[in-house]
Homo-oligomer: A and B are copies of this chain.
Amino acid sequence: MLLKALREEVLEANLELVRRGLVLYTFGNVSGVDREQGLVVIKPSGVDYDKLKPEHMAVTDLNGKVVEGSLRPSSDLDTHTLLYREFEQIGAVVHTHSEFATSFAQAGLSIPALGTTHADYFYGPVPVTAPLTDDAIGGRYVHETGVAIVSCFRGDAETPAIDPLAVPACLVNGHAPFVWGKTAHDAAHNAVVLEAVARMAYRTLTLKADTLCVSQALLDRHYFRKHGSAATYGQK
């Protein structure tokens, strides 16, 4: 069996989503990538979480071609593989329909950086994609979902680029969040924190609709407290 350790890590990250209340029934999925072998391990489509075992995971190449496993991979596979091809530093992708992050996605709103909880994890607003065009939806829809995410991070003449490791999440307009990280554990952790941050942003904005983002100074202070070579949080 290929990639035994990665299968176990991906399974464990899937189960973390269940424990934290981020998924209902078979919603949601986690994948991880082995960059050396160019292989992706991903949850199979529509299988109950309490029956999932490492051997049920599907293994595909970076273009989504199944190389091992008898179960059909998650229907969101083509979004995952596109993200792996485009964001070379990431090691895992998580997709959920967690309640509050999804509600921002449905409203077509990014999640602004309203406090230090956000700044500890996301170095700026969590962006929302443009709505997909009818052509994109009618074409290679799951692939196009990834394209929309990547466009958000590439930026353009008017919008600055975003570093996908500094803001490891994106809301797909009218759909739900995709989240990533260096490992499956980190990606699931980021998905859980994104939901907590979305809950607080929802409460904050329904209390005071015109709440401003935290200052750049505070965003810097908190983000770099937990990230980069000068990080001071946790044990060395």
Chain A interface residues toward B at CB < 8 A: 24-27, 44-47, 71-72, 75, 97, 99-100, 102-109, 114-117, 131-132, 134, 137-138, 141, 174-176, 189, 192-193, 196, 199-208, 211, 214-215, 217-218, 220-221, 225, 232-236
Query: Separation in Å of the A168 CB from the closest CB of chain B?
Result: 15
Known: A207-B205, A217-B137, A235-B47. A106 touches B99 (CB 8 A): no
- Which of A138, A201, A218 has most B Cβ within 10 Å? A218
Q: Check B115 against A235 for contact (C-beta < 8 Å).
A: no
Q: Check B193 against A24 for contact (C-beta < 8 Å).
A: yes
Query: Separation in Å of the A206 CB from the closest CB of chain B?
Result: 6
Q: Which residues of B contact A206 (CB under 8 A)?
A: 206-207
Q: Which residues of B contact A203 (CB under 8 A)?
A: 99-100, 103, 202
Query: Separation in Å of the A129 CB from the closest CB of chain B?
Result: 13
Q: Check A107 against B207 for contact (C-beta < 8 Å).
A: yes
Closest to A44 in B: B235
Q: Could you say which of B44, B108, B132, B207 contacts A211, with CB atoms under 8 Å apart?
A: B108
Q: Could you say which of B46, B208, B235 contacts A107, with CB atoms under 8 Å apart?
A: B208
Chain copies in complex:
4
Known: A103-B200, A117-B97. A137 touches B207 (CB 8 A): no
Q: Which residues of B contact A208 (CB under 8 A)?
A: 107-109
Q: Check B116 against A175 for contact (C-beta < 8 Å).
A: yes
Q: Could you say which of B26, B220, B225 contacts A75, with CB atoms under 8 Å apart?
A: B225
Q: Check A174 against B116 for contact (C-beta < 8 Å).
A: yes
Q: Which residues of B contact A107 (CB under 8 A)?
A: 114, 204, 207-208, 211
Query: Separation in Å of the A216 CB from the closest CB of chain B?
Result: 8
Q: Check B103 against A117 for contact (C-beta < 8 Å).
A: no
Closest to A172 in B: B116
Known: A109-B207, A206-B207. A134 touches B217 (CB 8 A): yes
Query: Separation in Å of the A228 CB from the closest CB of chain B?
Result: 15
Q: Check A115 against B102 for contact (C-beta < 8 Å).
A: yes
Q: Check A117 against B132 for contact (C-beta < 8 Å).
A: no
Q: Which residues of B contact A103 (CB under 8 A)?
A: 200, 203-204, 207
